[in-house]
Structure 1
Amino acid sequence: MTWFKDLLQSTPEIALFICLALGYAIGKVKVKGLSLGGIAGTLIVAIFVGMIGGITLNDQVKNIAFAMFIFTLGYMSGPSFFASLNKKSLRYGWFTLIEVVAVLSITAIAIVVLNLDIGTAAGLMAGGATESAVVGTATDAIAKLDLPPEQISALQANVGTAYSISYICGLITIVLLTSQIAPAVLRFNLRDEAAKLWQQLSKGHVDEDATTALPSVVGRAHEVSLAAGQTISQVESALGGRATVERVRRAGQIVDATPDTALAEGDVLVLYGLRSDLVQAYAVIGPEVADASGLDLELDVAEVLLTGKDVNGRTLSEVRAQAAQEHTGVYLTGLTRMEQGLPLQPGTTVNAGDVARISGAKKDVDAAAGRFGVRLNSAVKADFVFIAVGVILGMLIGKIVIPLGDIPLSLGTGGGCLLSGLLFGWIRAKNPKIGQYDPAAASVIKDLGLATFICAVGLSSGPAAVQLIQKFGFALPITGVLITLIPACISLFVAFKVMKLPAPLALGSVAGQQCSTPAITAVQQQAGNTTPLMAYTIVYALSNVVLPLLGPIVVAMANALS
């Protein structure tokens, strides 16, 4: 295998893609419903590949990858983060505060008791908090310490190794605690509690539009017999108000369809609306007909970034009521926040920065999109001018150093790009005609950037991994579990006993404070609906911003204590 070793040493970019391929393949493997995910899988593979020795990605590749990841993370979190800074949402900030205080406290104790070095301490905290971004901000902070280059490289390698160990332990702990252990110990049925909350959000309304993320919105053609002499508005009211007459054919000709248009026997109407309402059309209008020649209707589906001031903080029922008054024939078929689908229930709170999927006639959809936000242009994937300026600003912010005694405090590239990403994401939400960054494109850049950075860390960590594990033994995984378990248990107590939150929101908050997508996925599966996401998205937005900033803090703390 000498030729293979020589190949990877001479062409480390091949090693990068080997680690990505194998890492993501391992990350998909499920054991009793639990998988590591691609990032953790890539790190593990990279550590083993790195043990060959002499395989490294240069610092420029690592820094560029992390800058793109952390800027994109901030950009995607920005609208939700700032929308969460209100009285109603900020109470969920207690979960992020608990996470920050607890993980720093436990890490400080571990540094003193186990005599941890700076890199191991930072990696343990990052893995226990299941926040990969801390690896980048911590290694960036270590690079600025006044230490010999060899020692800095060794400490940075320890970050990756300690992170890989504690992340696996932390991931298993948080998934099992939120989805299995907490419901069993506290003696509640999560599916029943989620169903109760779903009913509360529905406010007693049976809403066909809320039963699925893709409601049954259909078109039908009916011949007027029973509705002869009635106006279009009377027919729409008789159908429940959630179906619209879009077009009228009379004697082979298309006539104007206004609310006051009187219908004559033999007219053929094109109806568009919810299936539950249109099944009654035969009893209100007349028989359904197959001949719809000349009645073809151009329907449209749009993704709308919600930006209107009168949308933020309002319930879905309030937004729908206003939309129904101003824009008939438009139907909400999906609502996402940070790429997470929210329940389409009347009591669901809408925030600026959420993305709504609406459907209807093209003219109606365009009007509604302009009223409540801006239609996302699927042809534009990324505004590279806007993004590049944001990354440059972040890098410049990261170069600012504030000396605290012998410790140089700096946000580094990671913290600087995170803050600039937040700012540019907020600017984009306020001025949606500039800076488009398609969610799918952003997700690819974010994942690829983090995976590349983690791979670089893993490759450099490989040679020192065995020594670090031999030095600390089981102390590393045990500490990793405690860093995850203790703040989660404290938060569960606060959620149930102090804040009196419903079980789905309590568990969603705990998953959010850990920024753990696998945990919220497991909770949602157990709940049987999307109610846990309502709390998860708020806490996730807060923790996703705050936790990466702990990298320089834990480095400074470890440097002072060790």
Structure 2
Amino acid sequence: MAFLADPMFALFLSLSGGYLIGRISFGPVQIGGVCGTLFVALAIGQVGVSIGDDLRNAAFALFIFSLGFTAGPQFFANVRGGWRFGIFSILEVVTALSLTLLFVAIFRFDVGTAAGLFAGSATESAVVGTASEAIAHLDHIEGDVARLQGNIATAYSLTYLFGMVGIILFASQVAPWLMRVNLREEAARLEREMGGGEEGSNSFPVFVERAFKVGDLAGRKVRSIEEQFNWTLTIPAIRRGTEIVAAGLDSILAEGDIVYVRGRRNSVIGLGRQLGEEITLPHDFGFEVKTRDAVFANPDLVAQSVADLATIVPPEMRRDIFVTQIHRMGQRLAPLPKTRLQQGDILTLYGPSELVDQAARKLGPELPVQDFTDFVFLGLGIAVGLFIGSLSATVGGIELTLGGGGGALVAGLVFGWINMRRPRLGALPAPAANFAKEFGLAVFIAAIGLKTGPDVIEQLRKYGLILPFIGLVVSVGPALVSLIVGYRFMKIPLPIMLGAVAGQHCSTPTLLAVMERTGNTIPVIGYTVTYAISNVILPLTGPIIVTLAAMVVPG
């Protein structure tokens, strides 16, 4: 078994075994690769493995910068206009901190255990890193730094699973029961209010092409027909006799015309019922159409809805361009007419090639095809972040500093925002950023687990039975507070509110469980706002919980 003590072998075995365990699902619950890596690393660490602090710190800097980079555009957009939901991220931090400190006072947890309890209950792995760094800067603490940092990992591993299961069950099962709301019916009602309809099992608008023979609508202008359906369909061409002509807004339909119609399926079907007989789409109705992704970054268009876009583009774009998908914070959002757009959204446009390109340029800068990573941009960003983290100020005898982790996070936010505004400045493609984020965190967590493995048995004997149940309380408590404030007092519809609860917890599995209950993507509306803000403020809370816990239980 001596080979297990080789640091590199142990590290990559922890990653492989951890992500294998992370694939195992129990209903909607899946612990994920990072938590699985910690479990495996703690087990392998029993043989005694030493991973250098420099590797661990470099991996965390890579992770936290990438986290900020991917969250930057949505974070700044939500800070400017999303605090109706952002308040729940504040409630998450305040409530979780308060409950953690209460249990610290009752059970006399050390600062490492307190930080691990907070991180696991909030299911926020980044707190492990920022809290570990904060412990290294504390003076006059009971016990050595390495042991307390090890206690973070142990407490995190004991509370993470219970915290995740608790928040999933609370949001998807308990909350609808408590509020006496049929989640699926309420979500369907909200979708109809936002201009949606029954357009497919996954509730995303389906775009179709059809041909009809004109009957009852002879004499109507194309403009009046397209306006009738709120520009959700277009009639780009008419066959009159043997001739095919482009249809303008002032074109008038004649009896016997064959019209080519494309647009949202329910609108096209509705028009078909009025037009007359549907015929097989003729092959000579050939029009070059394409789809293209565009970044929504034009500051003049912020807070516009999908329907509002029709009022700010030329008429020919209004009738020929459709938004078929919206991606926000990695989640797909239905492009309903009343869906509000945010900076950083990726819109998928569909329509004639030339007009699609024009519309994309109007929405924001062109998204370049990037198949490489600009390491000048990446390295400079992390270096700037570490420099920011090295700065400190003393207030009331207390040294205040972001630390390397907090500095790298702030730099990532700024560099991500710059990249959104100038995509050609600093290539860091989304797959590369996601890899850096995932790999950096996994390596950091594995290094922590391997180093602290020998101490885990003692910690399990001391707190093993009580920590998971405390973690459940600390996890569900903030969600309950947010639910009462948001649903009862702020009157936020429950499907959207439960999405916000999932986001304040940075829990994608919880969002997926709620969406399974609603049957549509309405919860994503609340999720993306709180997720973007919590992804930033939760990691920054690591030093706060360490400082406060040290005051509650002084060394």
Q: Is the 8 A contact 2:370 2:427 kept in 1?
A: no
Q: Does 1:163 align with 2:162?
A: no
Residues 193-212 of structure 1: pairs in structure 2 closer than 5 A: 193-202=186-195
Q: CA deviation at 1:378?
A: 3.8
Partner letter of residue 3 of structure 2?
L
Q: Does 1:484 align with 2:478?
A: no
- The equivalent of 1:396 in structure 2 is 387
Distance 1:382 1:322, change over 3 A: farther
Q: CA deviation at 1:344?
A: 2.4
- The equivalent of 1:7 in structure 2 is 3
- The equivalent of 2:12 in structure 1 is 17
Q: Distance in 2 between matches of 1:101 and 1:311?
A: 34
Q: Distance in 2 between matches of 1:233 and 1:540?
A: 42
Q: Distance in 1 between matches of 2:474 and 2:218?
A: 71
Residues 347-362 of structure 1: pairs in structure 2 closer than 5 A: 347-362=338-353
- The equivalent of 1:84 in structure 2 is 78
Q: CA RMSD for the aligned pairs? A: 3.3
- The equivalent of 2:47 in structure 1 is 52
Distance 1:304 1:473, change over 3 A: same
- The equivalent of 2:67 in structure 1 is 73
Distance 1:408 1:446, change over 3 A: same
Residues 408-435 of structure 1: CA deviation (Å, up to 9, x unaligned)? 4321221011111111122223334423
Q: Is the 8 A contact 2:200 2:206 kept in 1?
A: no
Q: CA deviation at 1:268?
A: 7.8
Q: CA deviation at 1:174?
A: 0.9
- The equivalent of 2:205 in structure 1 is 215
Residues 258-295 of structure 1: CA deviation (Å, up to 9, x unaligned)? 556789999987654334455556975987456525x6
Gapped regions of structure 1 (runs ≥ 5): none
Q: Distance in 2 between matches of 1:165 and 1:285?
A: 65
- The equivalent of 1:525 in structure 2 is 516
Gapped regions of structure 2 (runs ≥ 5): none
Q: Does 1:28 align with 2:19?
A: no
Q: Distance in 1 between matches of 2:405 and 2:167?
A: 26
Q: Distance in 2 between matches of 1:200 and 1:49?
A: 54
Identity of aligned residues (%): 39
Distance 1:395 1:9, change over 3 A: same
Distance 1:336 1:278, change over 3 A: same
Q: CA deviation at 1:75?
A: 1.6
Partner letter of residue 263 of structure 2?
G
- The equivalent of 1:115 in structure 2 is 108
Please give the secondary structure, in 2, of the residue aligned with 1:529. Answer: coil
Q: CA deviation at 1:134?
A: 0.4
Distance 1:147 1:303, change over 3 A: farther
Q: CA deviation at 1:527?
A: 1.7
Shifted more, 59-68 versus 230-239: the winner is 230-239
Q: CA deviation at 1:318?
A: 1.5
The TM-score normalised by the length of structure 1 is: 0.87
- The equivalent of 2:89 in structure 1 is 96
Q: CA deviation at 1:138?
A: 0.8
Distance 1:276 1:20, change over 3 A: same
Residues 457-516 of structure 1: CA deviation (Å, up to 9, x unaligned)? 111121110011112232322321222122222222212322122111222222222111
Please give the secondary structure, in 1, of the residue aligned with 2:123. Answer: coil
Q: Distance in 2 between matches of 1:110 and 1:157?
A: 19
Q: CA deviation at 1:357?
A: 1.0
Q: Does 1:446 align with 2:437?
A: yes
- The equivalent of 2:288 in structure 1 is 298
Q: Distance in 1 between matches of 2:281 and 2:190?
A: 42
Q: CA deviation at 1:162?
A: 0.8
Q: Distance in 2 between matches of 1:459 and 1:517?
A: 27
Q: Is the 8 A contact 1:334 1:341 kept in 2?
A: yes
Q: Does 1:190 align with 2:183?
A: yes
Please give the secondary structure, in 2, of the residue aligned with 1:304. Answer: strand
- The equivalent of 1:313 in structure 2 is 303
Q: CA deviation at 1:371?
A: 0.9
Q: CA deviation at 1:188?
A: 2.2
- The equivalent of 1:475 in structure 2 is 466
The TM-score normalised by the length of structure 2 is: 0.89
